[in-house]
Amino acid sequence: MKYVGIALLFILTSWTAQANFRTVQNEAFKRGEKLTYRIHYGFVDAAIATIEVANENKKFSDRNTYHIVGIGKSKGTFDFFFKIRDRYETYIDETALIPWFFGRRVDEGGFKIAQDYIFHHQQNKVNVGNNKMVDIWQNTQDMLSGFYLARTMDLSNAKEGQLFSVPTIVDGEMYNLQIKFKGRETIKCDWGRIKCLKFVPVLQKGRVFKREEDMIVWMSDDKNHIPIRAKADILFGSLKMDLIDYRGIANPFLFQ
């Protein structure tokens, strides 16, 4: 899917490239990485989700970017009763790991969302559509780019209970999204046993989750920091997500 907003980014003035941006060291992912997840709703095999770093490099005012696309699609009987067709897309700066464009297309059981965000980090603003500009914090992330920024964090000396924060814009509002480190755990997956870092996102009550700590994520305890499994208790049941396929990862998994 092509967005009009993407075209606008290619004609940003040249001073964009001259602005002072941070440099984030990234050993966690590279172009060509593709992760595939199976999602269960209760006991039902409900959906497949993929998230991919496209093997391309589009430049925004001479700055290299990663093009990341996440797709979710319901399957089988679940698709008949509750059809899901979701697509998330972001272009993030290769050096600063901040987004320049974010696109969101959600269709879940007839509930639809369409968002295109164009970021102007030099002014700490984002165009959320209809020429509406929203003030943002420095190095603000979107819903997808924030996940990839989190993967680059140095967690080697993380202490249980430690909080990690990512400034993020969600539905036109700013949040200081946080994840809490809950320790290390070895879990069994399709390829064997793997050491993981265990996190609890600190989430908003009343939107999807019952309580703030109703979601747990197990992330590989290696340079990749790839989510291996996630479990969540939501208002109308429970979800489980497992990695079932991977390719093009930056570093080998350390299976036992």
Read off the pLDDT of residues 69-87 as tens digits, 9 standing for 90 and up: 999 999 998 898 899 999 9
The rounded mean pLDDT for the chain is 88
- Check whether 16 has a pLDDT greater than 50: no
Given pLDDT bands bounded at 50, 70 and 90, which one contains residue 239?
Answer: confident
**Confidence category of residue 20, pLDDT binned at 50, 70, 90:** confident
pLDDT (mean) for 110-121: 95
* Domain segments of the chain as ranges: 4-247
Is the per-residue pLDDT at 12 higher than 70?
Answer: no
pLDDT band, very low/low/confident/very high, at 131 (cuts 50, 70, 90): confident
Give the closest residue to 26 by CA, choosing from 66, 59, 60.
Answer: 66
The pLDDT value recorded for residue 13 is 40
pLDDT over 90 (residue 241): yes
Q: Please report the pLDDT score of residue 3 as a whole number.
A: 52
More confident residue, 255 or 33: 33
**Secondary structure (3-state) at 23:** coil
Determine the 3-state secondary structure of 8 from DSSP: helix
Q: Poorest-confidence range of 99-108, 194-203, 247-256?
A: 194-203
DSSP letter string, 173-212? EEEEEEEEEEEEEEEEETTEEEEEEEEEEE--BTTTBSST
What pLDDT is attached to residue 235?
67
Overall pTM surpassing 0.85 (yes/no): yes
By percentage, how much of the chain surpasses pLDDT 90? 71
CATH class of 4-247: mainly beta
Q: Is the pLDDT of residue 219 over 90?
A: yes
Distance of CA 90 to the CA centre of its chain: 9
51 burial level (CB within 10 Å; 0-12, 13-18, 19+): buried
The CA–CA distances, whole Å, from 152 to 30, 87, 177, 218, 223 equal 11, 23, 16, 15, 8
